[in-house]
Structure 1
């Protein structure tokens, strides 16, 4: 008889980062089971690592209420959906020479560690749909956030003939089903952001303000946080570091300190990071440092798992899914 992953983890993962994994998973489960909401922050190349295989079900089961991610993670889940069969894995990526890398470029294969994203099948297949949507928005006087544009494209069905994975394994498809809010700070630093900028420069769309970004994300998030932070509050589950995590967590001290608005702090915090704790490193900063910035309270449950997120995150998500399922029976 097969044993649930959660039972296996609880039995074997008893010390060090393994124990921190269990503690963070238990804290996550307790928070959402108690009625708390959860923000998940995605840095790095989690979509290229196909995190949708586990994250999509977390979204569909209501264990994620809002996502903050880089523009790369937003688009790369969709790239994987429509071009998966054309991706190439390079197990010996550490041995590649500059000439090998140049050869990949000439073949239109953009490498992310051991995985090459096919430019023609991924980027260009989506570009036509994006341009049509941007032009439609311009004609109708609309302005949307980046994820809202992608939701429209997914819901239109125009890409379905190109699907190369089961959409059940796409976290963006799951998010579109729930109309999940997504904050994408620094969206300009992504392939689709670059494509948008190119079309603005070429005159295909007239205004760089057609797609909402930057400060508009922060002001929208401030209202969302205010509306959802009562009671059990909002937890923060951070995968990696950088802007995907730093941007949304700052909404609390902004409301509290810059607006003098009484605001509940984040009520749970966990981070998966392989960044070495060092001088001035945000990605490597321990959770306690956030107390001094008015983001977490002294008694906020907080966890740091120093490991590879592609190993840890699916285990935690499966743990939460199994334990919550057991608690509901």
Structure 2
């Protein structure tokens, strides 16, 4: 068996080098090579017709502006079809949609003085305490609107939130839409695996004390995300095989929520046993300390989360997501033609109904066998 290899033939970097040439020719080893492999796998196989791309997002990505600068463009180009995010990322994304100001600073400031001055710090990002208060006030105001007064999953909740914040963007003259507003316009469903674990969830809880009828139902999310993974097998084109890709920025609960769609299908619902076709992760966590949620691609195979035949299509780059995400974004937008928007949000009921029908049929078949 031939050992995959490519001769390292170093050439001095030119002053006018572009991002694609830099990555393809100079990211030669260690995690630079893994990042190159991710960029090339995405551009050559994943961001093609027939592949449904789900992305999980953790870590403080939106406070750094990546919701606007990286994730929104990827959505508009049809490169992200559905998302699972921490609530915190969606909350801090709202600051940009509401036209508020955040600043790049230093991680070595005096936090006692910052507290006295009413300044919040997220590592080397700072902003006024009033940003939190005004964002909270916006959330509480719109959540009292009639469309929110019912039981719903987080995709519907975030779609409504995106609709309202998009209107604010227009009113205050925001030039570049935030993640939530972009997802709303493009029909990309956004889920959060832990709805109460953010300032958005805190405000939802506060309103329940005043008689709000809104209830976030996690079971809706579990079934809707499983339905998306299930229906990813059908591309809509008989000549193109449908595939599912899991692109993971960071780890944590969003990663597991994205990957658990496959065990939900075969372990719990008894429908299929296949796993995601592509597993791509950027993380700085380690599996041997228990910090790498959902662990490595090979370990995920044992759970049925990843198709064992697709292990060559699984990649992990151990680096800072704030370094990798803008590089990946620049690379794929340069190399790939935009894909038609799948608008999976608009197809939620259709996919849910198919999952429910096939599950009920499987239950009937199982019951008849037992008889």
The TM-score, its normalising length taken from structure 2, stands at 0.77
**Maintained 8 Å contact 1:187/1:213:** no
* Residues 127-173 of structure 1: per-residue CA shift (max 9 Å, x gap): 33323332222786574633123122124x2354445x5325x3333
Trace 1:294-313 onto structure 2 (pairs within 5 A): 294-300=304-310, 301-313=313-325
* Residues 193-214 of structure 1: per-residue CA shift (max 9 Å, x gap): 112212222x1x434xx14242
SS of 2:92's equivalent? helix
Trace 1:8-157 onto structure 2 (pairs within 5 A): 8-29=22-43, 30-51=45-66, 52-85=68-101, 87-91=102-106, 93=107, 95-96=108-109, 100-120=110-130, 122-137=131-146, 141=150, 143=152, 145=154, 146-155=157-166, 157=167
SS of 1:262's equivalent? coil
Match of 2:212 among 203, 206, 209: 206
Counterpart-to-counterpart distance in 1, 2:334 and 2:151: 42
Mark the structure with the bigger radius of gyration.
Answer: 2
**Maintained 8 Å contact 1:133/1:149:** no
Counterpart-to-counterpart distance in 2, 1:284 and 1:249: 8
Which residue of structure 2 lines up, in the alignment, with residue 189 of structure 1? Answer: 197
**Maintained 8 Å contact 1:234/1:266:** yes
Worse-superposed segment, 102-111 or 299-308? 102-111
Q: Which runs of 5+ in 1 are unaligned?
A: none
Q: Compute the RMSD of aligned alpha carbons.
A: 2.5
**Maintained 8 Å contact 1:233/1:266:** yes
**Maintained 8 Å contact 1:31/1:268:** yes
Cα distance change, pair 26–7 in 1 and its aligned pair in 2 (3 A): same
Which residue of structure 2 lines up, in the alignment, with residue 314 of structure 1? Answer: 326
**Maintained 8 Å contact 2:283/2:319:** yes
Counterpart-to-counterpart distance in 1, 2:51 and 2:147: 38
Work out whether 1:224 is the aligned partner of 2:228: yes
Structure 1 residue 256: Cα displacement: 0.5
The TM-score, its normalising length taken from structure 1, stands at 0.86
SS of 2:32's equivalent? helix
Counterpart-to-counterpart distance in 2, 1:139 and 1:284: 33
* Residues 230-281 of structure 1: per-residue CA shift (max 9 Å, x gap): 3331101101110111112101111101111115421111111111332433
Counterpart-to-counterpart distance in 2, 1:255 and 1:132: 38
SS of 1:68's equivalent? strand
Cα distance change, pair 125–159 in 1 and its aligned pair in 2 (3 A): farther
Counterpart-to-counterpart distance in 2, 1:118 and 1:161: 22
Cα distance change, pair 73–19 in 1 and its aligned pair in 2 (3 A): same
Cα distance change, pair 57–222 in 1 and its aligned pair in 2 (3 A): same
Cα distance change, pair 9–174 in 1 and its aligned pair in 2 (3 A): same
Structure 1 residue 35: Cα displacement: 2.6
Trace 1:259-274 onto structure 2 (pairs within 5 A): 259-274=269-284
Q: Which runs of 5+ in 2 are unaligned?
A: 1-14, 235-240, 340-371
Structure 1 residue 41: Cα displacement: 0.8
